[in-house]
Structure 1
Amino acid sequence: MSGAQQTRLAGSHDVELAALAAAGDRAAFGELVRRHGSAVRGLLRRMGAAPAEADDVAQDAFLIAFERIGEFRGQGAFAAWVRKIGARQYLRRLQKERRIASLADAADEGADIAAPPDAAGRIDLDEALRALGPAERICVSMCYGAGLSHAEAADALNLPLGTVKSHVKRGLEKLRARLAPADPEERRRENG
C-alpha cells in the first residue's frame, strides 16, 4: 500500500472505510482493524477474558465483521457494531465451555469488595470490574462496554431480562461503592 493511500485511508470516516471494505478494499478494512482492535480486546478483557483469549476472540470478531461488512449500514458507530460482535463471540465461547450455566450460582456467592482506591485517588476500572462476581462483570460489560441493551444482553446470555437487570444493578452499586471517593469525615474517623 502506498503512503498516499495510507494517508487517504487514515483520514477517512469509519462509514466510508466500511463501504470501501464492502466493495473489496482489504486495506480499508485493515484501517478499521487498526483503529478499533484495541477497544474490542479491552472490552473482552473487562468481560473476563484472559489476554490471549481476548486476542483470539477479537480476531474472530473481526473475521466475522469482514464477512458481514455489507450488513453495516452506518446507522451507528462501527466501533459499537464490532464490539457487539466481539461480546457475542466471547459469550458463545463461554457457553461452549459450559461456564455460563454457573453464572447464576456464582453471582449469589458474590465477591468481596475491597476498600476504595488509595489516598492518591487512583481509579482502576479493570481492577474494580475484576472484584465483581462473574455474572455481574459480564452483564455490566455487555450493557456499558459493548453498548447492548438489557434485553439484548439477556438474549445473548440466555438469561431472563430481570436477572440481567439485577446483575447490572448490583454490579453498578458495587462499582460505585468501590470507585467513589472516600468521604473526608469518614477518613478522619478512620485515621482517628
Structure 2
Amino acid sequence: MAQALVDRHDVELAASAAAGGRREFGELVRRHGSAVRALLRRMGAQPALADDIAQDAFIQAFERCSEFRGDGTFAAWVKRIAARLYIKRVAKEARYVAEVETEETVAAPDPGGLMDLDEALRGLSEAERLCVSLCHGAGMAHPEIATALNLPLGTVKSHVKRGLDKLRARLQSAETLGRTQHVG
C-alpha cells in the first residue's frame, strides 16, 4: 500500500486527504516538507522556527485540503501558506523593519569560489531577503507581498530588484573566482 502512495500524483493525494486520508496527507508532507522548511530558512527563519512554522503550515493545509484545486503545484500552495504564517509571526514579534535599513556589508565569496543560494541570500538585507523569497520562493506576486507586509508596492518592487541584482553580482563573482582558481 505504501508504494501505491508514492506512485500517486499530489492532486490525487490532496483529494484523498480532503476526505480525511491521513496517510495520503503524510505522503504530501514527506514529499514537500523539506522544500517548505528551506523556503522559510531562506526567508530568514532560524531552523527551529522554520520547523515550527512548516508544521503549522501543514496543519493548515490539512484542514484546508479541500481548497486545493490543482491549478498550481501542491508544493507552491503549501509554501504560500507557510510564507504567510512566517510574515504574521515576524510582524507579531516586531522583528521586521518596513523601512529600508542601512545596506548590509556583503561578504566576499568563499575562497573556493563556490557559493550556494542560501549563502548568497544571507548577504541581503532582511527586507530584500524576505521580498525575494516571497516572490521567487513562495511564488507571490508583488501586490500580494505589498499587502501581506503592509508596504507600498514600489518599495516591494525595489527590494526584489535590488535583492536580485545583489544575488546576481554575488553569484557571478563567486563563479568568476571559481573559474580563475581552477584555471590558475
TM-score (norm 2): 0.92
The letter for the 1-side match of 2:14 is: A
Match of 2:119 in 1: 127
**Preserved CA contact (<8 Å) 1:40 1:58:** yes
Match of 2:6 in 1: 10
Q: Which one has a bigger Cα radius of gyration?
A: 1
The letter for the 2-side match of 1:52 is: A
Amino-acid identity (%): 63
**Preserved CA contact (<8 Å) 1:135 1:167:** yes
Instruction: Identify the match of residue 132 of structure 2 among 135, 140, 147.
Output: 140
Whole-angstrom distance in 1 between the partners of 2:107 and 2:90: 27
**Preserved CA contact (<8 Å) 1:116 1:177:** no
Match of 1:113 in 2: 106
The offset of 1:125, in angstroms, is 1.0
The offset of 1:115, in angstroms, is 2.4
Match of 2:141 in 1: 149
- Aligned residues between the structures: 179
The offset of 1:121, in angstroms, is 3.4
TM-score (norm 1): 0.88
Instruction: Identify the match of residue 168 of structure 1 among 130, 143, 160.
Output: 160
Consecutive unaligned residues in structure 2, runs of 5 or more: none
Match of 1:79 in 2: 75
The letter for the 1-side match of 2:63 is: E
Whole-angstrom distance in 1 between the partners of 2:20 and 2:177: 57
Whole-angstrom distance in 1 between the partners of 2:6 and 2:73: 17
Whole-angstrom distance in 1 between the partners of 2:109 and 2:115: 9
Match of 1:182 in 2: 176
The letter for the 2-side match of 1:15 is: V
The letter for the 2-side match of 1:103 is: A
**Preserved CA contact (<8 Å) 2:142 2:157:** yes
- SS of 2:98's partner is helix
Q: CA RMSD in A?
A: 1.8
